[in-house]
Amino acid sequence: MARNIIVTPLSHRSIEEREVEMCERKGIGHPDTIVDGVCEAASRELSLAYLRTYGTVLHHNLDKGLLVAGRSVPLFGGGQVVEPIKIVICGRATRLDGETDAANLVTEAAWRYVGQHVRCDPERFTITTEIKEGSANLKEVFARGGPAALANDTSFGCGYAPYSRLEEAVLAASRLLTSPDFLERFPAAGDDLKIMGHRLNHGMHLTIALAFVDRYVEGVEHYFTIKNAMIEYLGDHLGVPVAVRMNSLDDPAARDENGVYLTVTGLSAEMGDDGQVGRGNRVNGLITPGRDMSLEAAAGKNPTSHVGKIYNVLAMLMARDIHQRLDGVDEVNVKLLSAIGERTDQPQVAAIEVGSKRGLTDEVRKNATAIADEWLENINRVTSLILEEKVALY
């Protein structure tokens, strides 16, 4: 069956040609990223359990998660957490036969994720689940599966390639601020990180929020000494000219802990910043208001049938492949639209925009269509990449 793949020229100016561009990245310790990661870990563990038991991934969605902030008293030299951070995982899951309990499996996966990705004491958290059986009609979609899974939602996914210079700078800054070298040099650096980048014509600017760990900071003067050294480190290592601001809410005339960004755990979630699945990074690792974006939360969704997950991942992979394999292509945008109950490898439409200084030739159109068709023909590969943690989801 022929697929409805439409290849057209880029319908707007490329991202690099625009006067203004913005993008954002939330780090691994941001409340939204923590709950994304926990729910995705839970879905992956449940999917693997289904595969071991039944040979296929059964109906589930664990993409409703909430982080409720705790309370703390940060103090120079070391304060205390007085109320833990609460994580609630909510969703639907098909019951596992035998002694394996889905809720217990999900809870164990969530605790494992927190222990591996957040450097503070796991006792700073509590994790609870609210997981019920899925609806009968959605479970029946799985029973009707054939060569490709059937979509359990009518939704769309978006992807693009390549990253812009600003996007690359934001991602590079994130890698630097979480690198072993940086963390060894600056033990006061916490895990809660947010980078907002913007470009005005050719000038790039980063506004960074980074939680400081109180036990490594002796006082106000020491805090600002560390912060200035961190900014200098970024300037020396980033490799591109970027203006950097850090912890802009700090009071330059601060006299105590209240005037600076100080935490006990290195997480803003300890003291009033809540989190929710889907409010953080998209599958490109960024939040990009100048690009086509889906508001679907990828984390926690079923990796076999939920197009809010697989179509967003697939669109990014498809766009990158077209950009890398076709000479002269400067920018690629991909949008995939599903229909609930229809095969995921047969979208209602796969819309591909190609930007090239040489224009959209018949050869480029033909080759882009062939690459998209190849990805859709092998759409089960996307599920494997997700379960093997070989693609980004947040």
CB atoms within 10 A of CB 19: 9
| Domain 20-25+165-273, CATH homologous superfamily name and number | S-adenosylmethionine synthetase, N-terminal domain (3.30.300.340)
Average pLDDT over residues 377-383: 97
Please confirm whether the linkage preceding 162 is cis (ω < 30° from 0): yes
User: In residues, how long is the chain?
Assistant: 394
Determine the pLDDT at residue 100. Answer: 75
So where are the chain's domains? 20-25+165-273
Phi, psi (5° rounding) for residue 59?
Answer: -60, 125
The rounded percent of the chain whose pLDDT value lies above 90 is 92
Q: Which amino acid is present at 17?
A: E
> What does the pLDDT average to over 16-35?
98
Q: What is the pLDDT of residues 115-169, one digit of tens each?
A: 999 999 989 999 999 998 765 454 555 555 567 899 999 999 999 999 999 999 9
**Alpha-carbon span 131 to 102, nearest angstrom:** 8
3 and 343 Cβ atoms separated by less than 8 Å: no
| pTM of this structure | 0.94
Please compute Rg for the chain using Cα positions: 23
